[in-house]
Amino acid sequence: MHFRTLALSSLLPLIAFGQTKSLSLDSPKGLTLHNATAASATLKGKKGIKVTISPDALGRMADAAPKGGQKKGGGPASGVDVLGIADGVEFSNGTIEVDLAGEPGPGAGGGARGFAGVAFRVQPDRKTYDCFYLRPTNGRAEDQERRNHSAQYIMHPTYTWFKLREETPSKYESYVDIQPAEWIHVKIEVDGEKARLFVNGGSQPTLIVNDVKSGASGKGGVALWLEGSTIAHYANLKITSR
């Protein structure tokens, strides 16, 4: 009976109030991959993992893509969520930090931006979550409007980037100086309905959201996030619950 109790306890969340979980991400160990493939890789001298959409999901994304391809410069258009979910985490409030890099993959369309980020309060359906993500190719584009769309907040499946940009232009996006295939440090602070995105150690947030769509009491998993046209790298994931 004692052994059985230990076994069952191992199924409970590994991170609770006031606790921290860290993953070096030098391998995919500790992640549940959803529509994704991942392997150990080194980028610019830093060890981490390389994550891409799985072949099966890529086929479904192609089948579901709207005529004319991806909406220009935005993000997911196919409804295929690509996630690396941290095992044993239930997160409501706290901080999430990770190093990431994103770039368009081979054959990506003209709307590809190297979309990579972090999803939080991920629900069991793996389709419902809040997310901050970056568009690295926008950071130094020779077009101010593109630069203004370098960082993005979304809440899938209802509040897509397209819906938010169409209904509340500029409210959930901002500029940040980033580049594709370069390591970017991301820190996310979540407190009830408020969330802030910090990039590359900045003392001021790049993007502030005062009406997080999952609500003041939302909770769920934490996941590495990317769009299907992206090659993403991740390292040093740290999740602190409070």
CATH number at residue 222: 2.60.120.560
Domain count, the chain: 1
In a domain, 139, yes or no: yes
Domain that holds residue 44: 19-241
Is residue 210 packed enough to be buried (19+ CB in 10 Å), middle (13-18) or exposed (0-12)? exposed
Can you give the pTM of this predicted structure? 0.90
In a domain, 164, yes or no: yes
Residues 6+ apart with CB under 8 A from 196: 188, 189, 205, 207, 208, 209
Tokens 């209904």 identify what position? 167
In a domain, 146, yes or no: yes
CA 92 to chain centre: 16
In a domain, 189, yes or no: yes
* pLDDT value of residue 63: 76
In a domain, 147, yes or no: yes
In a domain, 137, yes or no: yes
In a domain, 7, yes or no: no
* pLDDT value of residue 18: 75
Low-confidence ranges of the chain (pLDDT < 70): 1-17, 65-78
Among 155, 36, 29, residue whose Cα is nearest residue 84: 36
In a domain, 208, yes or no: yes
* pLDDT value of residue 74: 66
Measured between alpha carbons, how far is 83 from 114 in angstroms, rounded to an integer? 15
Among 43, 68, 55, 40, residue whose Cα is nearest residue 228: 55
Residues 6+ apart with CB under 8 A from 79: 64, 127, 157
